[in-house]
Chain A
Amino acid sequence: MTEVLPADGVFGLSWLLVAVPAISAVVLLVGGRRTDRWGHLLGTAAPAFAFVLGVVLFVALLGRGEQERRVGQQLWTWFEVGGLRADFGLLLDPLSALFVLLITGVGSLIHVYSIGYMAHDARRRRFFGYLNLFIAAMLMLVLADNYLALFLGWEGVGLASYLLIGFWQHKNSAAVAAKKAFVVNRVGDMGMVLAIMLMFATFGSVTFEGVAAGIEDASGATQTALGLLLLLGACGKSAQVPLQSWLLDAMEGPTPVSALIHAATMVTAGVYLVVRSGFVYETTEVASTAVVLVGLVTLVVGAIIGCAKDDIKKVLAGSTMSQIGYMMLAAGLGPAGYAFAIFHLITHGFFKANLFLGAGSVMHSMHDDVDMRVYGGLSRLMPVTFVTFAMGYLAIIGFPGFAGFWSKDKVIEAAFADNIWIGIATILAAGVTAFYMTRLMLMTFLGDKRWKSDVHPHESPATMTIPLVVLAVASVLGGVLILGGWIGHFLEPSVGPEEHHDLPIPVLALTAIVTLTVAVGVFIAWRTYGTKEVPVTAPRGSVLTRAARADLYGDALNEAVLMRPGQWTTRWLVWFDNRGLDGGVNGLAALIGGTSGQVRRAQTGYVRSYALAMLGGALLVVVSLLAVTLA
């Protein structure tokens, strides 16, 4: 990593990237009804401004020498307690610059789309407020120059996702899904919190620079613990196994939210964290292997789940899990994979936003029905949605020339160079991806009409189709970033030089194998869903299908392993508290109360009995005095 230079000139404005969306969110949320009329315009202008500023900063970064591309801006001292000093600082380097462009670019398009998508929602202005909060938090996350400020953005993202997933809070399922996302993320956040504490305890600093400087000399146990804790945090945000369960339920939110969570913000945070903390993972074999394994398991699990779902958004959610798994895997491979992880992340951002917004457009015209079994034959009625969706589809399955082809291929290459079995697993998963995405295409846009009688599909308004077109173009052309190894070279100041690896077989042969596998996946899907009629009610399916429909029993596992024992423990604790602790205290009180109830009977109200008691007492005193004196 190269040295961080102080921010000068236009770089002094980088704080505006975070501030503008944040201020817009505050205006929209505090301003209330008064901002209803123009709220969506302000809400869209804020990320658009951030995008323009991001482009300016990006160009300025490109204009500098390679060794001067890490720019830090210290804003103020956040707090200073004892030996801990946390500066509120921003770091703009190639890695965060790419993220800024992705977040604000795709984010702005999603905002534009939301104007049309949420047009009939009475709470649209609030929706835009939350979206802006989401963007601001995510920008805070990627621009922070230390783990503590990163954590601020990290929590902000969690909060915004909670608010947005549960945006239609009158639906019980949405409220529950929001709560689930929040709770599962909290588990990951614990990892982050512990990691930050460990950093402070070990290095006395929580900045990226400080930790990177000290990590080499730390003990092996500390390095491993740090890596695993950060991985736990990354798993929570990026919906990786074992904290994947919230992502599928998060589909309860409005579709633009799903697009934002899956493409530009939230789930990419985990990958960012792992790549940003590369200096930690390079010192510990155990943790980096764990990252690879987590990515591998998730990419397979996500792909399998995607194959069985009939809910169009859940298929896409499964595919997000799977694609993020690819990125995690690449990030876990170390310097050989960082650039490819980020490359895949960016192209995925393009085509997944495209797919989600396309799915939203379809749902919009189908009365918010998400069941693909009642779709079919939409290609002619929704030509723009169909063509743009097809671009995203070709990109995600890795059709030669499209964005996903370049990025996924690179990840598979890196995996292959590391371990041949991991490589084979990634290739098979690519085939499965092709299968479920083809299935989705065939069930939604082609084949017979299976609509319900009261549905009249129509093309969506321009505010929704224009973002689709832009994203479709990006899905097609996103691969240009890799031309001449540009992205790897550009990211060098942030993540170190790209390691070159030797493949056991020629690159072209590997590409051919991947493409062939994809073709097989497409063919199987076409044989199953393209040539036969799709039944409107789902058939029972094989054991694997039923398992995949139930999210491979992830929820059941969580329930059996965590929730039930947790409930038993709390019940036992409540019982112990009621009977054990309260019982003891209440028993003592009852004993004293009962005794005094008996003793007060002595107070009869008869003066003469008091007199007798006094006399007796006086005699007792006299007798005892005499006894003492005479003894």
Chain B
Amino acid sequence: MDATPFLTLSALLFTIGAVGVLVRRNAIVVFMCVELMLNATNLALVTFARVHGQLDGQVAAFFVMVVAAAEVVVGLAIIVSIFRARRSISVDDASLLKY
């Protein structure tokens, strides 16, 4: 099996996610981009699992999914409460925790 198309797609998705995290200000979008990176990673994990004929990668992907789900729950709750308090979900506005 040729893994190159899968890995290319994975790298592409990861890059899009990373750039999204870096350049977007909307917290929801940043969050989605993080999810994109996680899923890109999952793809790479599953691909390598197939290549090597082992289940380790797939198991890891499942873990990532579970953690991502939990993270979404907590993260969205935080975003909602920040929005309620400040009427804004721009990540640049929430910059009080600094030197």
Contact = CB atoms under 8 A, between A and B. Distances in A.
Interface of A: 600-601, 603-608, 611-612, 615
**Interface extent on B, as a size class?**
10 to 19
B21 interface: yes
A611 B99 contact: no
B94 interface: yes
A606 B18 contact: no
13 contacts: A604-B99, A605-B94, A605-B95, A605-B98, A606-B92, A607-B30, A607-B91, A608-B21, A608-B22, A608-B23, A608-B92, A611-B21, A615-B18
Given A608-B21, A615-B18, A601 B99 contact: yes
Contacts of B96: 605
B70 interface: no
A629 B97 CA distance: 40
Interface in B50-99: 91-92, 94-99
Contact of B95 (A601, A604, A615): A604
A427 B18 CA distance: 111
Interface in B14-67: 18, 21-23, 25, 30
Given A604-B95, A605-B98, 14 more contacts: A601-B99, A603-B98, A604-B98, A605-B95, A605-B97, A605-B99, A606-B91, A607-B30, A607-B94, A607-B95, A608-B23, A608-B92, A615-B18, A615-B22
A195 to B, nearest CB: 66
Given A606-B91, A606-B92, A611 B97 contact: no
A606 B95 contact: yes
Interface of B: 18, 21-23, 25, 30, 91-92, 94-99
Contacts of A601: 99
A451 to B, nearest CB: 83
A83 to B, nearest CB: 65
A246 B94 CA distance: 77
Contacts of B23: 608
Contacts of A604: 95, 98-99
Contacts of B30: 607-608
User: Lowest 3 CB-CB distances: which A-B pairs, in order?
Assistant: A605-B98, A605-B95, A600-B99
A603 B91 contact: no
A260 B25 CA distance: 95
Nearest to B27: A607
B40 to A, nearest CB: 14
B95 A612 contact: no
Contacts of A605: 94-99
Contact of A608 (B91, B98, B99): B91
A605 B96 CA distance: 6
A601 B99 CA distance: 6
Contacts of A607: 30, 91, 94-95
Contacts of A611: 21-22
Contacts of A606: 91-92, 95
A486 B91 CA distance: 111
Contacts of B95: 604-607
Nearest to B92: A606
Contacts of A608: 21-23, 25, 30, 91-92
